[in-house]
Amino acid sequence: MTTKTDYTEQEWKTLMEASVGAGMYIIVSDVSLTNMGKELVGLTNAMQKQPVAEGAQELVSAIVADFIASSKEQHKSWQESGAGSDPTATLLGTIKEGLAVLDARGTAAEKAGFRTWLMGLAEATAEAGKEGGFLGIGAVRVSDQEKAALEQLKEVLG
């Protein structure tokens, strides 16, 4: 098992960004102002409640605790780091960087558990709001764009 002390400050920040990035990738894949708030709440709830494989529980718990404890300014700097670029490409890059950090330092159980947890975050985010339709009629839980983003994320996570 690895702990926060096994990572540099930048590596730990990268792992935290990858965690948030999984859900944000889904949100930006099909931006809907009416559902963005629901999906952000869905992501936040999933980070705290999403099941984690036993071998990755300590690592994920520490990441979530630090995410919750981090300041609003930190979250703002994460958002601004991708300003002016393609947000989906930026977020996929962030997720890949996080996976590379974990691949270099984490145990096999942590690597597998973290990837599964990230996919769970993305799925929970996608299902947090309904997309399309008119006044709720014809809306779907997961849009075609979100389905495509989930498939792309599955490929990245392996």
pLDDT of residue 76: 56
pLDDT of residue 155: 96
Tens of each residue's pLDDT in the chain, 158 residues: 888 999 999 999 999 999 999 999 999 998 877 778 888 889 989 999 999 999 999 999 999 999 888 855 555 555 555 555 688 899 999 999 999 999 999 999 999 999 999 999 999 999 987 766 666 666 677 888 999 999 999 999 98
Whole-angstrom distance, CA of residue 105 vs CA of residue 143: 36
Domain boundaries along the sequence of the chain: 8-157
153 contacts 119 by C-beta, under 8 angstroms: yes
Q: Single out the residue of 21, 44, 18, 10 nearest to residue 111, CA to CA.
A: 18
pTM equals 0.85
pLDDT of residue 1: 86
DSSP codes of every residue in 4-44: GGGS-HHHHHHHHHHHHHHHHHHHHHT--HHHHHHHHHHHH
Whole-angstrom distance, CA of residue 81 vs CA of residue 63: 20
pLDDT of residue 68: 84
